[in-house]
Homo-oligomer: A and B are copies of this chain.
Amino acid sequence: MSQPRPRTIPEATVARLAVYLRVLSGLADGGRSTVSSGELASAAGVNPAGLRKDLSHLGPCGVRGVGYEVATLRRRIAAVLGGEQSRACVLVGIGNLGSALADYAGFGTRGFEFVGLFDSAPGRVGQLIGGRTVRPMDDVEEVVTATRASIGVIATPAEVAQPVCDRLVAAGVRSILNFAPVALAAPAGVDVRQVDLSVELQVLAFLGQQRQVPAALAGGMA
């Protein structure tokens, strides 16, 4: 309400705040009332000093010599992430991945609501997924307009991702999470985030293979 808003928060920090929020929710459910940076950091898989620096972006919110109050910190982070109000999302492409996303409870509990599931395959339309009925792609503009959905999730095959993106943007969507393996072009003012599952696996495999090579070289190089 007033102006104790921190000017800006690094994107990397925002991503971790979301993780802390999840851990804090678990702690709160377990009845814990306070945590130290060390404990919270270890549960989140990060370095304690880094965690404290992350939290410093919200202004002081711990008690020196003691730690952080779970309930307070949780509320504080949720407020900064904008998690208090619910946000309407549409999801396009209800294949295996789309169904997984529609069903995933983690979204609902964080204030994201899928107000529309869309697919162009007649066979998919009408199916009930995560309590919602899949609608034909033709309805997408109407739903986006009616619900003022500002977030769109694309889980279609790569070939149709760009046209789907264009339609979403034209209908008023301002943020897009893309699971299709193509780089999407969108006008300025529209955020696009890319999640590429096979890239993750490829990086992992590379690191694994790297682990071997240096060991082998150690003998030959010295």
Contact = CB atoms under 8 A, between A and B. Distances in A.
Contact of A211 (B87, B174, B210): B174
A197 B199 contact: no
B198 A195 contact: no
Given A100-B100, A195-B197, A204 B175 contact: yes
* Identical subunits present: 2
B203 A195 contact: no
Contacts of A96: 96, 99-100, 103-104
A5 interface: yes
Contacts of A18: 196, 198-199, 202-203
B201 A112 contact: yes
A96 B106 CA distance: 14
A151 to B, nearest CB: 6
Given A193-B204, A204-B177, A198 B107 contact: yes
13 contacts: A8-B210, A44-B183, A97-B100, A99-B100, A104-B198, A106-B198, A107-B201, A110-B202, A112-B205, A151-B208, A175-B207, A193-B200, A193-B204
A209 B14 CA distance: 12
Interface in A148-167: 150-151, 153
Interface in A137-186: 150-151, 153, 174-177, 181, 183-184
A52 B193 CA distance: 23
A72 interface: no
Contact of A203 (B11, B176, B208): B11
Contacts of A89: 201
A2 to B, nearest CB: 12
Contacts of A176: 204
Given A106-B181, A198-B106, A87 B191 contact: no
B151 A81 contact: no
